[in-house]
Amino acid sequence: MDRLAGQIAATHGRLHPAAEPFARHMLDVGDGHQIYVEESGNPEGRPVIVLHGGPGGGCSPFMRRFFDPTHYRAILFDQRGCGRSRPQASVLANTTHHLIADIEAIRRRLGLDAMLLFGGSWGATLALAYAQAHPDRVSGLVLRGVFLGTQGELDWFYGGGAGRFFPDLWARFRDPIPQSEQDNLIAAYHRRLFDDDPGRQGRYAQPWLMWENALAGLQSSGAAHAPADYARAFARLENHYFLNRCFLDEGQLLRDRHRIEHLPAVIVQGRYDMVCPPLSAWRLAEGWEGCDLRLIPASGHALSEPRISAELVRVMDDIRDRRAMAQV
């Protein structure tokens, strides 16, 4: 989950200056996939891997600005099938396990040892999955808008739970689907997003994307259409992952939390996040001694929410100054 809802002005002064990457790579990870990777900041700095949302969202130059470029070596990449990675919108050989392997390939290609993981929404899911698979290669986690990939979370967002708060927007998402198929909207959209007709794919990609985008921030309207190629890639990839329950066992990320409980973590969670409600963040943090859960008032889900952005910059600056994750 999570689409970056544009650049923000309210936190402009709190973000670090915009910086161009000092290196860009197209990494062949097999299965016909090439993934786009970029590095910005200090080439000798502390490495931090940035995991974007979606699945399918892609990274943005805005994401570089959470990291002091004199201290951090910020590594952004577009996950399989999205952004500048190729082939676009492809779901072949595209699972959570493949993405974990891609992060490992990036780590090896760039000669990294232990890395900070910085991810929000689906990016938080992937950060947890990677850390649990390779705990010795992670020095800490900074998570935002936690999504654990459970059926309950999918039911909340695609089964009518969130729709009780936004009945007008829910109707706009639900009504393109015949009533006979509305008991499983993920499956119904899947049949259309993976239709042989690209035009039909595009027509159903927009309402899929607009439903999530409308709920991402407290001030979101979701009225604007996204570029067709972006909408198609985002909707197809996200739907593919959600139809397959994120390629995780039910409750896996909580079940396997013990594998990473020695690591420090900070969670920045919007109090009024309607896409990924705070209960998931609470469950993840509860009993994890090294986890600092920060519930942010008057804030929703999006990375572009002003208080969310400001808090994430504060967290990364505190890690730089050893005021957070002091043991790292």
In angstroms, how far is CA 139 from the centroid of its own chain? Answer: 19
CA neighbor of 15 nearest in space, from 293, 218, 295, 306:
306
Spatial distance between the Cα atoms of 190 and 175, rounded to a whole number of angstroms = 15
Rg (CA), the chain: 18
- Please tell me which residue in 2, 190, 301, 304 is annotated as part of the active site: 301
Tokens of 98: 């493949």
| Angstrom distance (rounded) from CA 192 to CA 265 | 39
Percent composition of the chain: helix, strand, coil (DSSP 3-state, to 5): 40, 15, 40
Is 229 catalytic? The answer is no
Active-site option among 40, 60, 121, 304? 121
- 205 DSSP 8-state letter: H
CA dihedral 227, 233, 238, 241 (to 10 degrees): 180
DSSP-H helix ranges across 176-299: 185-193, 198-215, 228-243, 252-255, 279-285
Nearest to 4 by CA among 48, 63, 49: 63
Please report, as a single letter, which amino acid is at residue 186: I
∠ Cα 109 24 32 (to 5°):
65
Beta-bridge partner residues of 236 = none
Of the residues 71, 273, 280, 299, only one is catalytic, namely: 273
Whether residue 273 lies in the annotated active site: yes
Q: Which residues are catalytic?
A: 121, 273, 301
